[in-house]
Structure 1
Amino acid sequence: MNLFKIAVFRPVATLMVFVALIVFGVYSTINLPVDLFPEIDPPVITVITTYPGAGALEVEQNITTELEDQFSTLNDLDEITSTSVANVSIVTLEFDWGQT
């Protein structure tokens, strides 16, 4: 309750505290070193295979499924995603972070 009395009976002091907080916040924000795009090397490999003249189903059966089966035996593999479209198979391998 004492804090409320001070805020009401001394509005200039309350205003100065808020101004000081705003000035400190602006100063800190301006001088804060922030790297919005840090240098990282994500552990991801994308394998793109072409199969001219084949439809999406044929690419999936003959290329994508075979690649997924072979890649699934790799160590430290986190996730495999694949896309098959006409003439092209795209297989993305995502490894665990920190692995070389």
Structure 2
Amino acid sequence: MFSAFFINRPKFALVISIVLTMAGMLSIAMLPVTEYPAISPPNIVVAGVYPGASAEVVEATVGTPIEDAVNGVEDMIYMSSKSANDGSYSLTVTFKVGADVDMALVRVQNRV
């Protein structure tokens, strides 16, 4: 019975088909697409303390040797370090997205 309605009115069926096709095209065009999703790369932090030392001394005696040792670890993108006047030092090593964090941690530990 329902199909007989459209069989007897082919122009109406054609109009409905065109409207549905256009609505589908419009809705596909309006779908949000994220080209660069928010993915944070894995990080490993190496920390050290040299009590009573200034930031310059910490950088020279703690920071530089650690940075030289860690430099070149597989899948590393970049690293940044911070020395403070309270004798603390931290090195943040950033790896490629998708890198195995556990293996990266082992590689960094082996070099330090």
TM-score, normalised on structure 2? 0.51
* Cα deviation 1:19-75 (Å, max 9, x = unaligned): xxxxxxxxxxxxxxxxxxx9x774101111111011110000001111110110311
2:46 aligns with 47
| Structure 1 ranges of 4+ moved more than 3 A | none
- The answer on whether the counterparts of 2:41 and 2:96 sit within 8 Å (CA) in structure 1 is no
Q: Secondary structure at the match of 2:51?
A: coil
Give the counterpart letter for 2:74 in structure 1: N
Give aligned-pair identity as a percent. Answer: 34
CA-based RMSD of the aligned residues comes to: 2.6
Look up the match of 1:66: 65
Secondary structure of residue in 1 paired with 2:80: strand
Which segments of 5 or more consecutive residues in structure 1 lack a partner in the other structure? 1-37
Tell me the residue number matched to 2:33.
none
SS in 2 for 1:99: coil
Q: How does 1:1-100 map to 2 (within 5 A)?
A: 42-86=41-85, 87-100=87-100
Q: Could you tell me whether the CA contact under 8 Å between 2:44 and 2:94 is conserved in 1? A: yes
Ranges in structure 2 where 5+ consecutive residues have no aligned partner: 1-37, 101-112
Q: TM-score, normalised by structure 1?
A: 0.57
